[in-house]
Amino acid sequence: MYKRILLKLSGESLQGTQGYGIDPVRLSDYARQIRQVALGGTEVAIVIGGGNIFRGLSGSKKGFDRVKGDQMGMLATVINSLALCSALEAEGQKAAVLTSVRMEPVGNLYQKDKALQLLGEGHVVIVAGGTGNPYFTTDTASVLRAIELEADVMLKGTRVNGVYTADPEKDPAAKKFESITYAEVLNRNLRVMDLTAISLAKDNNMPIYVFDMDTIGNLQKVLADEKIGTLVY
């Protein structure tokens, strides 16, 4: 059992079956899974992407200034974070949103000591706004927060059940890894996370576990040490 985890959630996954925005059914499914883990005594910090609303890099390809596009993407992560916080509270779970840039009263400014205090008091802490800087993804923000908050592991919840030799949604012959080193991910140029995030995890020995979060019950299985995903170490 992990004492403290950093859970990275995909913004795209929040779309559920509707293909855009936030699917309330998927949101509730996530909230219930996270609530179960918190009830089991694990401290949970979360970073959510914003790709279901706006992605800065794709926006810049359509004519947006990259910095402004990334700032729009940061705001998208705040919207998702507030939605998840509300869903958790509806399940009876204490939760708080901390933002990487000042945004009171939407959320308090992220500080390590404040986050650790809230975690110790039983809150699920959702850190919104990425790193607060353009040109950095929420994957990198997730690794950064996992390191800062001294998490035992960073869990990357996606719609794919691990790391493969190629994209399993495009290549039916792709083979899944049960575990893989950071160096091999970098050498093979596998798109587990962006290279900045993998390098940061490697330099700080932060293990990453990639699993399918969209299947209900999988988060609990990961914490029970069932081998349902891929460990990057």
How far apart, in whole angstroms, are the C-alpha atoms of residue 97 and residue 123?
Answer: 10
Q: How many CB atoms lie within 10 A of CB 224?
A: 10
- pLDDT for res 175: 95
- Compare 54 and 98 and report the one with higher pLDDT: 98
User: In this model, does residue 82 exceed pLDDT 90?
Assistant: yes
Domains identified in the chain, total number: 1
Contact 209, 178 (CB under 8 A): no
In the beta sheet, which residues pair with residue 98?
Answer: 108, 127
Tell me: the pLDDT tens digits for 12-36?
Answer: 999 998 888 999 999 999 999 999 9
- pLDDT for res 217: 97
Whole-model pTM?
0.94
13: DSSP letter: G
- pLDDT for res 208: 98
The per-residue DSSP string of 109-174 comes to EP-HHHHHHHHHTT-EEEEESTTSSTT--HHHHHHHHHHHTT-SEEEEEESSSSEESS-TTT-TT-
- pLDDT for res 223: 96
12: DSSP letter: G
User: In this model, does residue 210 exceed pLDDT 70?
Assistant: yes
Mean pLDDT, rounded, of the chain = 95
Tell me what the mean pLDDT of segment 73-102 comes to.
98
- Which residues are CB-neighbours of 156 under 8 A, at least 6 positions away? 8, 139, 142, 192, 193, 208, 209, 210, 211
Tell me: the pLDDT tens digits for 141-180?
Answer: 999 999 999 999 999 999 899 999 998 888 989 999 999 9
Q: The domain that contains 173 carries what CATH number?
A: 3.40.1160.10
Domain extent for 27: 4-232
